[in-house]
Structure 1
Amino acid sequence: MDRRLLGALAAVMVGLWLYPSGARAETEVDVALVLAVDVSRSMDPDEQDLQRQGFMEAFRSPQVHEAIRNGMVGRIIVTYVEWSGVEYQNVIVPWTIIEGPEGALKFADGLSSNPIGRVRRTSISGAIDFGVKLLEQTGVEPIRKVIDISGDGPNSSGRGVVAARDEAVAKGITINGLPIMLKRPSGFGDMEHLDLYYKNCVIGGEGSFIVPVRDRQQFADAIRTKIIREIAALPAKPMIQTVQAEPSVSCAEGEQRMYRWDRN
């Protein structure tokens, strides 16, 4: 037998011995998902409650349970983080493996039993950087890595959001967005075209998408839709990514506002 063929067979046998298929299967998941949720003071308490309830309803829904079951592995790992300023990221529910309705319901119950924080400023870049660190601590082998950012304003604290986004994407991480647009912009920290800001400045990576929320009645449905798409790795529909008018938006707008505010 050819020596090269013998060498290849030996390498395969060593690989099977070192990494038995059963052992790898136990540590593999379809997706490692960081749910990073804005709790800055620009969010009204009722909006924060709607947001939390939306995630709880999503993980209690049969559609999400089916999406998990139909994955290549049939198992995901997820954590829920609240964030605000650059120094505030709080893990509400730690990394949890979900491979059936029971695990999903337990995850939802974990959300219901924790109070909601409310802190100043908005650091999307800090949330992304924190999500990257968490994704290095899963203890499993995810097929995909996703950070799910929801918020109601631009980055106004910490380093530039584009730099944070690009570094995460370079590590093979996908960032999706849920821009919350329930109120008309009325002052500092607000942005009229937040959906475009998220599309151009926040999301990135393979298959990334946004699901804007413009009505309170849409909140739960929007969150469930986004979670299902992230779990199932479905291609983004044009209706989710496209907006009718695309005025110019600056990725540094919130950061420039905060700089002027601090100087004054």
Structure 2
Amino acid sequence: MDPVDVALCLAMDVSASVDFDEFALMAGGTAAALRDPSVLAAATSGPRGAAAICLLLWSGIGERDLAVGWTRLDGPEAAGALAQAIADTPRLPRAGATALGEGMAAGLALLGAFPDATARLVLDVSGDGRHNQGQPPGPVRDLAVDAGITINGLAILNEEPDLLDHYATEVIGGPGSFAMSCADYPDFADAILRKLRRELGGGLLVA
């Protein structure tokens, strides 16, 4: 893969609180966002004209799957192929506890091993629950900050209405980091669209 402006790992919660219909809304919403011209414009707006994206699914300790490996996003054909791969991805990790810190650590390992040059490394965490198993997220976040990696969060509030506070204090960190929320899974597609435009475009605020 040639150098890119940003390497973005999408890390999605597939723990027991996320049923199969909700997972389909997450995957389908992410795929729809990647097909949106504004996301491609953000991904190709940097000097290298490209981003790299992968999809990581996580739940309890040891339950994680690199569902879609690193893929270069540099034009409409690549965006369509990546969107289809995400839309078609099976839910392989077993549903279980919410090992949020473990999922974050797995995403950081993927970013740390990114094989090509990039100006930015970003971890995008989406989920509907607090950490309740394994290593806590705060120390993992601190390691990311020390390494110059940005972690952003999208809190889905259907299970825990105050989850955004947990993401803001325990999950996000690094240059330009931010946390967003959506009320429920039907709202995920709009939220991830706005989030991807902001992440890929270098943290610019997007309405």
* Higher RCO structure (Cα 8 Å, ≥6 apart): 2
2:196 alignment counterpart: 227
Higher-helix-fraction structure: 1
RMSD: 1.6
Deviations 1:12-35 (A, max 9, x none): xxxxxxxxxxxxxx7321101000
2:187 alignment counterpart: 218
Q: Name the SS of the counterpart of 2:15 in structure 1.
A: coil
2:121 alignment counterpart: 145
Provide closer, same or farther for how the CA distance between residues 83 and 104 of structure 1 changes in structure 2, counting only shifts above 3 A: same
Deviations 1:194-231 (A, max 9, x none): 01110111101111111101144421110011011110
Gaps of 5+ in 2: none
Distance 2:27 2:41 in 1: 21
TM superposition score normalised by structure 1: 0.74
Kindly report structure 1 stretches of 4+ aligned residues shifted beyond 4 Å: none
1:10 alignment counterpart: none
AA matched with 2:174: G
- Partner of residue 97 from structure 2, selected from 109, 112, 121: 121
Deviations 1:203-261 (A, max 9, x none): 01111111101144421110011011110013457x9xxxxxxxxxxxxxxxxxxxxxx
Distance 1:116 1:126 in 2: 18
Over the matched positions of the two proteins, sequence identity in percent amounts to 38
Distance 1:215 1:158 in 2: 26
Gaps of 5+ in 1: 1-25, 184-190, 240-264
1:77 and 2:57 correspond: no
Q: Is the 8 A contact 2:7 2:121 kept in 1?
A: yes
Higher-strand-fraction structure: 2
Q: Name the SS of the counterpart of 1:148 in structure 2.
A: strand
Q: Is the 8 A contact 2:5 2:119 kept in 1?
A: yes
Larger radius of gyration: 1
1:94 alignment counterpart: 69
1:65 alignment counterpart: 40
1:179 CA displacement: 0.5
